[in-house]
Amino acid sequence: MRSFRVSAQVLLLVIVPLALQLCLLTWMGNLQSEAEAQLKAAESSKKIADSINKLNAEEFDTVSKLGHMEMLESITDAEMDAMVARTISEYQELEELGKNEPELYHSVVTIKQDQLEGFGLARQIRATKDLHMKRTLWHQLVYKVQDVMYGRLSKVARRYEAQARKNTAAQTETRLRFQQVALLGGAVTMAISALIGFALATSISLRLNRLNDNNIRLATNRPLNKQMSGRDEIAKIDKTFHNMAKALEDASNKERAVIDNARDLICSVHKGKFSAVNPASLALLGYKQDELFGARIVDLIAEPNDVTAAFVASLREQNESTSTEVRMRHKDNHIVDTLWSTQWSEKEKSTFCVIHDISERRAAERLRQEIVHMVTHDLRTPLTTLSNIFQLLLHKRDIETENKKEHYLHVGERNVDRLILLVNDLLDIEKIRSGQMLMDPSPQQLDECFATCLDSVSPIAESKEIKLNLEPTTLIVKGDGDKIDRILINLVGNAIKFSPVGGTVDVHAAVENDMAKIVVKDQGKGIPADELEKIFERFHQVYGHQDVKGSSGLGLTICRAFVELHGGRIWAESTVGEGTSFCFTLPLASKETSSSLITDLVAEPGKTSSQQVPNNPDYS
């Protein structure tokens, strides 16, 4: 039936019962016609039988009047004529009833003729005077009357009475059959109609339920049921629904691919919590999607509480798309600068957000500011000083004494050295970034590196009355001696700059996890916890330390690059107000190499690594 349209199936449900009803009515009509014919035949037979019986009754009445010859002779001609007329009238009525039945009609006509012949004999008996003739005619008359009344006429009457009873019985049987056919046919028609209706209703209901189930499956993102077969409207709707679902799935897959592969974090926020997040959360904040689902956004925002509260409240109030810069906290606790583009959906009661990482842009802005600061202080100041010195020397102003001239030359030399240091640092940074920085690793005695560092930074320490305490060590590392010296000079030099006058800088080394760990500790102001990682960035200056001069802002960046080139790592540990410890690790040299180097050093005079630098107020 699924090959037919639903309208055709419903029409079939109507036509089949109607056809059955028509057949049943035709059958019942035939039975009714048969019953009516049998009734008519029974009535006709009964009427014929009644007419014959009436005729017989008339004949008995006539015979009773003519039962003896004397009675016959006593009847007048008028009475005889009346009896003959009455008899003829009865036979005419009987002939009228039997005109459609040739056999009956022929029998009636024959009996009528015999009856009239009997009346003729009666007339002859009345007319003759011969007694013998009368008796002969009387015997003939008696025989004919007996033959008519008790013979043929009675036989015909009995036959039609039997036929009337038979037709009546047949009619009764036909009517009974009519009732049975009406009841049984009605029941069969209703049963067939109900069966067809049930099958059609069940088929349509099941298929509609299947369509509804597909709606639910589509809404809950589950696979759809198999496509229905057939060519009716429901099958076409199901086919269209499957095509629509396929198109939606393709569109959803494309949308999901765009969202999943987007570099920006795309999410929705409901009641201050993440309700959906794309995979970019791992790259941006270090969290997987399931880790952020249901998490409060305030826990990830690294802004002051009042700013955070105002931002979260604004997510539910703004109906137009807005952009807001927000600092967020990465899983490893570092700060990420982000730009939030938000749109509130009244229908979903959620805020849809696109979070863009602007850390590089912010870093570039800070780098630009730091470069401007560097140019302003680290380039312009030395160049201005040199320009002033050259002008004084050229115009011979204020240089009457040789001492002043020498002083100006020393100041110029220091500024030139400062510029050379800045240029060298910039060149080193560029070499490190481009991968062109070369290393010459070899076994290095750390004590010698400490001594080199001491020689380099002693003048600075003397100027600030800083005590340098470099503990002796026998550790031998594998690395580039020049770069290790530079790391130590940069770290110890920074420690001296940020230590108070009369303070102490400690340097010591120890073995930790099969690596040499070197620690440089000062007694300065200390560094806040959120700045400990940033201080190794280019041109970064810790808040509150901007007043310290003489730095290119690249020293710690170069130190980290040199340490990482050796396969070690560098970090800072600090408590604000108690000073800072800079730690870095270097790989130890092999035991065979260390033993050989120690043997060679034993033959040479040792160098002390611990020194109290005396005060030298003339150092500049």
**What is the DSSP code string of 516-547?**
EEEEEE--SS---GGGTTGGGSTT---TT-TT
Residue-wise pLDDT tens digits, 132-171: 787 787 777 777 776 665 566 677 777 777 877 887 888 7
pLDDT of residue 478: 93
Cα separation, 162 vs 153, in Å, equals 14
pLDDT of residue 551: 56
pLDDT of residue 605: 46
φ, ψ dihedrals at 412, nearest 5° = -60, -40
pLDDT of residue 581: 94
Which tokens sit at 261?
């592969």
For the chain, the straight-line distance linking the first and the last C-alpha, in angstroms and rounded, comes to 108
pLDDT of residue 124: 78
What DSSP assignment string belongs to 167-191?
HHHHHHHHHHHHHHHHHHHHHHHHH
Q: pLDDT grade, residue 613 (50/70/90)?
A: very low
pLDDT of residue 419: 74
Rounded to an integer, the average pLDDT of 181-203 is 82
pLDDT of residue 593: 56
Which tokens sit at 493?
């030099």
Cα separation, 531 vs 525, in Å, equals 13
Higher pLDDT, 257 or 403: 257
Residue 596 predicted with pLDDT over 60: no
pLDDT of residue 620: 26
Higher pLDDT, 614 or 227: 227
Rounded to an integer, the average pLDDT of 333-352 is 87
pLDDT of residue 449: 93
User: CB within 8 A of 117, min separation 6: which ones?
Assistant: 144
Q: Which of 145-154, 216-225, 320-329 has the lowest mean pLDDT?
A: 145-154
Longest dimension (CA), the chain: 222
Residue 327 predicted with pLDDT over 80: yes
Residue tagged 């240029």 (tokens): 423
Residue-wise pLDDT tens digits, 549-586: 555 567 888 899 889 989 999 999 998 888 999 999 99
Q: What stretches of 435-506 show up as alpha helix (H) in DSSP?
A: 446-463, 481-498
- Quick check: 112 and 76 in contact, CB under 8 A? no
CB atoms within 10 A of CB 52: 27
Element (H, E) at 269: strand 265-270
b/e per residue 143-172 (b: at least 16 CB within 10 A):
ebbeebbeeebeebbebbbebbeebbebbe
- Quick check: 563 and 555 in contact, CB under 8 A? no
Higher pLDDT, 594 or 585: 585
Residue 247 predicted with pLDDT over 50: yes
pLDDT of residue 615: 33
Q: Which of 229-243, 292-306, 403-417, 556-570 has the lowest mean pLDDT?
A: 403-417
Average pLDDT, the chain: 78
Residue-wise pLDDT tens digits, 410-467: 777 777 776 777 677 777 777 777 777 777 889 999 999 999 998 888 888 888 889 9
Q: What stretches of 293-346 show up as alpha helix (H) in DSSP?
A: 305-315
Look at residues 35, 1, 300, 12 and name the one whose alpha carbon lies nearest to residue 170: 35
pLDDT of residue 555: 81
Higher pLDDT, 254 or 269: 269
Residue-wise pLDDT tens digits, 461-514: 888 889 999 999 999 999 999 889 989 988 998 899 888 999 999 999 999 989
Cα separation, 507 vs 527, in Å, equals 19
Look at residues 197, 208, 196 and name the one whose alpha carbon lies nearest to residue 233: 208
pLDDT of residue 484: 92
Angle, helices 555-565 vs 481-498, to 10°: value is 150
Q: What stretches of 220-272 show up as alpha helix (H) in DSSP?
A: 233-260
pLDDT > 70: what percent of the chain? 81
Look at residues 589, 609, 570, 544 and name the one whose alpha carbon lies nearest to residue 491: 570
- Quick check: 481 and 578 in contact, CB under 8 A? no
| 343, amino acid identity | Q
User: CB within 8 A of 152, min separation 6: which ones?
Assistant: 107, 110, 111, 114
Rounded to an integer, the average pLDDT of 315-321 is 70
Rounded to an integer, the average pLDDT of 388-404 is 65
Residue-wise pLDDT tens digits, 55-114: 777 766 666 666 566 666 667 778 777 877 877 777 777 777 777 777 777 777 777 777
pLDDT of residue 597: 54
By three-state DSSP, how is residue 579 classified? strand
Residue 244 predicted with pLDDT over 80: yes
Look at residues 528, 444, 539, 533 and name the one whose alpha carbon lies nearest to residue 487: 444
- Quick check: 63 and 147 in contact, CB under 8 A? no
Higher pLDDT, 618 or 302: 302
Alpha carbon distances (Å) from 148 to 53, 61, 86, 398: 12, 14, 16, 192
Q: Work out the angle at residue 262's Cα, subtended by the Cα atoms of residues 258 and 265, and round it to the nearest 5 degrees.
A: 125
Q: What share of the chain is helix, strand, coil (3-state, %, to 5)?
A: 65, 15, 25
Q: Are strands 504-512 and 467-470 parallel, antiparallel or unpaired?
A: parallel
Cα separation, 603 vs 105, in Å, equals 173
Higher pLDDT, 124 or 489: 489
Higher pLDDT, 357 or 32: 357
Q: pLDDT grade, residue 237 (50/70/90)?
A: confident
Rounded to an integer, the average pLDDT of 519-540 is 85
Rounded to an integer, the average pLDDT of 176-202 is 82
Residue 21 predicted with pLDDT over 60: yes
pLDDT of residue 17: 78
Cα separation, 496 vs 552, in Å, equals 16
Which tokens sit at 484?
């290790």
> Which pairs with CB-CB distance under 8 Å and at least 24 residues apart come from 60-65?
60/149, 62/87, 63/145, 63/149
